[in-house]
Amino acid sequence: MIMLRNGFFLFFFIILLSSCSSSLQQGMKFRADLMNTGVYNTIPLQSEPQLLWKYQTGAWVRSSAVVTNTMVYFGCSDGNLYALDVVDGQLKWKFSTDGQIGSSPLLVKNKLFIGSYDGKLYCVEALTGQLLWDFDTGDRIFSSPTIAGKNILIGALNGDFYAISMKNGEVIWKITLGTGVSSSPAYKDGVIYVGSWDGKLYALKKNGDIKWDFQTENLIFASPAVTEKIVVVGSLDGNMYGVDIENGSEIWKFETGDQITSSPAILNNTVYFGSKDGYLYALSLTSGELLWKFEDGGEIESSPSIADNMIYFGGVNGVLYALNSVSGELIWKYTTGGRLFASPVVANGKIFIGSKDGFFYALR
């Protein structure tokens, strides 16, 4: 009996330790994980999709969603953070800010964090939408927050980049990175990676000190993705860069025909991203060599998402595409009524995305 109790205690302790050591669940932020890989560890939607439901906001939904087993959370250009029932799309609550929301939410346990064009980072209770605290950065926020330990990382369009206490919204540290930060940070092994409008990709230590920086030829609007050895980021100079994670030196550069605002997704040694030249590209992670490209016919601003062997992205033509990630073959497409900027979110064989037509879509 004593052995049973001790065994139960040990089992409980292991479970408790495991839950405490991983405060961020997979898929609960922009680009799916801390490294911004865009990979969702879930069942893909492989067959021709059907509309499960759609919710009308009346304004452009540029924010990418966070999806749980019961709820869908996303921001909107009408200034609201929405919480919908995942099954039927019914409104559970909405939280109003004083500016447009292009930032995507971060969900940590029962707290939601999101930035607004009113300059504030908000922390709200996920079940009720009740405000817990807010922090004013002094300028518009387009960057999506992430978590590093007990701190929330966020950038503002005045160039300031913050580490904010998740508990109470107090500033832990601040650094100014060029003239604006719309990039959403990636985080790996105690190092923060974020792009700036000064054209630099920065690697920051946990205390905010600069470890290294890498200069591109135009501003960086999109977010970097991090692997074991390489950081990948696109620039408005039209190039996608592979940068050494240790020293910030250039490993490779791939030139597209126009600006890149799409953040890369990375899986199985392959980098996927869109360009305003109308192509979705697949490159070798190690060499930057072109593996294949898919022509959309219009600008691609949406950042691709991956689930299993499927890659999903949207175009300014309002079409959501699903491709085979190995071959680039078109599997299916679904047309919305407006431009797609948001990244698709994949969850349990369903896809969630907002459109400029003012609707948020759930497909199955």
Q: 322-345 pLDDT, tens per residue? A: 999 999 999 999 999 999 999 999
What's the average model confidence in pLDDT over 206-213?
98
What's the average model confidence in pLDDT over 208-216?
99
Of 268, 277, 258, nearest to 324 by C-alpha is: 268
Of 156, 322, 149, 303, nearest to 232 by C-alpha is: 303
Given a cut of 90, whether residue 20 has pLDDT beyond it is: no
Q: What is the token pair recorded at 40?
A: 């969702």
Distance CA 7, CA 293 (A): 54
Of 228, 231, 168, nearest to 194 by C-alpha is: 231
Distance CA 240, CA 234 (A): 4
Neighbours of 70 (CB within 10 A): 11
* DSSP element (H, E) containing 7: helix 2-21
Which residues contact residue 3 at a Cβ distance below 8 angstroms, ignoring those fewer than 6 apart? none
Residue 24 pLDDT? 87
CB 38 within 8 A of CB 264: yes
Decide the pairing of beta strands 345-347 and 171-176: unpaired
* SS3 label, residue 284: strand
Distance CA 236, CA 276 (A): 10
Given a cut of 90, whether residue 11 has pLDDT beyond it is: no
How many alpha carbons fall within 13 Å on the CB side of residue 160? 17
Distance CA 161, CA 177 (A): 7
* SS3 label, residue 99: coil
Given a cut of 50, whether residue 12 has pLDDT beyond it is: no
Given a cut of 70, whether residue 104 has pLDDT beyond it is: yes
Residue 172 pLDDT? 99
Given a cut of 60, whether residue 7 has pLDDT beyond it is: no
Neighbours of 68 (CB within 10 A): 14
Per-residue pLDDT band for 23 (boundaries 50, 70, 90) equals: low
What pTM does this model have?
0.94
Q: What is the b/e burial string over 137-163, where b = at least 16 CB atoms within 10 angstroms of the residue's CB?
A: bebbbbbbbbbbeebbbbbbbebbbbb
Residue 144 pLDDT? 99
Of 207, 208, 205, 184, nearest to 195 by C-alpha is: 184
**How confident is the model over 157-203, as pLDDT tens digits?**
999 999 999 999 999 999 999 999 999 999 999 999 999 999 999 99
Radius of gyration of the chain (CA): 20
Q: What is the token pair recorded at 112?
A: 């939601």
What's the average model confidence in pLDDT over 26-32?
96
How far from each other are the two terminal CA atoms of the chain, in whole angstroms? 49
Place of tokens 């995305």: 353
Q: List domains and CATH numbers for the chain.
A: 37-363 (2.130.10.10)
